[in-house]
Chain A
Amino acid sequence: MWKYPKDFPILDQKIHGHKLTYLDSAATTQKPKVVLEALQNYYETLNANIHRGVYQLSEKATEAYENTRKHVAKFIGARDPSEIIFTRNATEAINLVAYTWGEKNISEGDEILLTEMEHHSNLVPWQLLATRKGAHLKFIPLTDEGTLDLKNLDAFFTPKTKLLAVTHMSNSLGTINPVSKLIEKAHQNQTTVLIDGAQAAAHLKINVSELNADFYAFSAHKMLGPTGVGVLYGKKEILEDMPPFLGGGEMILEVYKDYSTWKPLPEKFEAGTPNIAGVVAFSAALTYLENFGMENLRQHEKELTQYALGRLKELEGLRIFGPMDISLRGGVISFTYLDIHPHDLGTVLDHQGIAIRTGHHCNQLVMRRYDVSATARASFYLYNTKEDVDILIEGLQKAKAYFDRGSKKGA
């Protein structure tokens, strides 16, 4: 028996009379007991505002908060904890770059290179920036298989290409992109690179220094941590050169009537009281992942995904999106089934206790590329098992039978 589901109290419940089968970890993961305990413990023993009290409680809270920063730096291979900026989520991390680095470095006529598989959070901030600056967006297209079409990659880089913003792993197609190669290519062109790691950081072993990414953004809640905590990694020299994002307490050094000066990294980018409890508990999530092992996690998800792809292919009329090569795909499978609309599928599966995501997954460009308005998506994490996949398959068969009832009458 796979022992890990036991660590997740939420999984031990019934939905519509059935055991909960949670297959939506690409949206958010469930939290292990140790993370819930860390949250509880923070409020019971440590709660005080950080970076401002001279009393012991505040010092301890500050220490716990800063320990997570060190932990995150180690977890993703950053050289220095001051390269870790806490935000609300990956979206805010990307917006931070757009509103600070972008304001300073993007001018009229410049080009921002994206891909057609970007989540709206790594697309809309750049649209807004491009509109403010009169810059242009360019998109690396997708192959029919759901990978980036890199045939004409050279042609996408011009002297005007100031930024490449690309996802490390697609949240709808599951595709793992060759970001190392893309970063190298971009740097040859003096193009700065932001990697959207919202999916990848949760599922792959990441080393931002080896990758040589300039920015790397991700969210705690997709990797066992609490909601409301995001991370922006940025190279120190780039972050230091950026103007601040939000103004307010804790990010200032001296304040006068007409101007202020900023604290050094990382406080310069952390105005106001942050999600202290969430950040502190995030460290417990990282420890859990370290104990599990990111390589083991990848191996577990590969096996599950391989098994799921095989079983899904058995179903006639089931269309799978994204690469079938498991080395190119994380534990995310988007699909459509016969002419059953994904929402109807989602509702019928819900009534069997199965939670999947349905819709456009904040990926309208991808939906348009493959000419669908929505897909169903099952995504896995360390608590999922082959039995969950079997339950999904059985659920899909029951959904088909359920809607066949309608077509007999309607035809």
Chain B
Amino acid sequence: MAWEALNDLYREVILDHYKNPRHHEKIEPHDVEQEGFNPLCGDQLTLQLKINSGKIENVGCWGKGCSISQASASILTECIYGKALEEVLSEASFFKEVMQGKSKIEEKDVGDLEALSGVQKFPVRIKCALLAWTTLEEALRFYEKTHVSSLK
């Protein structure tokens, strides 16, 4: 039966984040607002960040899309909340490596993000899982451009 394979993708943690997304709100004030869009499937996200002294002080994220894209966004907000930008960027690149099969999720303690490691077996869904993370990277690139000094 193919359901066991599916359970690797749709872990209960993921369905929980999908149905009860964390930080699912607009935040005021914020320093960056970044939209992410996956034209293949129409998944979309808006990510807001409040950054203070090189740390993510607050985060808000909402959008429309499949359970994987939206759960990944919710998990992302928990992962980055209160963390230093460098740490956040390294987490994003680690997760990308996991999705590309270049790193194993067990190498780091990443909390609920671990639940997304099963997506790697579903190549067409990897983009869904990565949308929030590439949106985050874009947001931070934009922030860097406009607030260079605070990153230093």
Enumerate chain A interface residues (CB-CB to B < 8 A).
16-18, 341-344, 347-348, 351-352, 358-360, 364, 367, 373-374, 402-403, 405-407, 409-411
Contact = CB atoms under 8 A, between A and B. Distances in A.
B66 A402 contact: no
B10 A406 contact: yes
B20 interface: yes
Interface stretch (B37-45, B77-85, B97-105): B37-45
Interface residues of B, number: 26
Given A343-B128, A373-B44, A406 B15 contact: yes
B16 interface: yes
B149 to A, nearest CB: 38
Contacts of B142: none
Contacts of A351: 2-3, 5-6
A373 B65 CA distance: 7
A347 B15 contact: no
B96 interface: no
B64 A373 contact: yes
B5 A16 contact: yes
Contacts of A16: 2, 5
Q: In this complex, which of B20, B65, B122 has the most chain A Cβ atoms within 10 angstroms of its Cβ?
A: B65
B67 A411 contact: no
Interface of B: 1-3, 5-6, 9-10, 12, 15-16, 18-20, 40-44, 64-68, 122, 125, 128
Given A343-B66, A352-B2, A406-B10, A373 B43 contact: yes
A332 B31 CA distance: 46
A403 B5 contact: no
A343 B10 CA distance: 12
A409 B13 CA distance: 9
Contacts of A373: 42-44, 64-65
A359 B122 contact: no
A120 to B, nearest CB: 10
Contact of B1 (A17, A343, A359, A407): A17
A358 B69 CA distance: 15
A385 B92 CA distance: 47
A18 B2 contact: yes
20 contacts: A16-B5, A18-B2, A342-B66, A343-B68, A343-B128, A347-B6, A351-B3, A367-B42, A373-B42, A374-B41, A374-B42, A402-B3, A405-B15, A406-B12, A406-B15, A406-B16, A406-B19, A407-B15, A410-B16, A411-B19
Nearest to A348: B6
Contacts of B42: 359-360, 364, 367, 373-374
Contacts of B65: 341, 343, 373
Given A351-B2, A406-B18, A410-B18, A344 B67 contact: yes
B2 A347 contact: no
A88 B42 CA distance: 26
B67 to A, nearest CB: 5
Q: In this complex, which of B5, B6, B9 has the most chain A Cβ atoms within 10 angstroms of its Cβ?
A: B6
Nearest to A360: B42
Q: In this complex, which of B3, B18, B43, B66 has the most chain A Cβ atoms within 10 angstroms of its Cβ?
A: B66
A65 B79 CA distance: 60
Contacts of A403: 10, 15
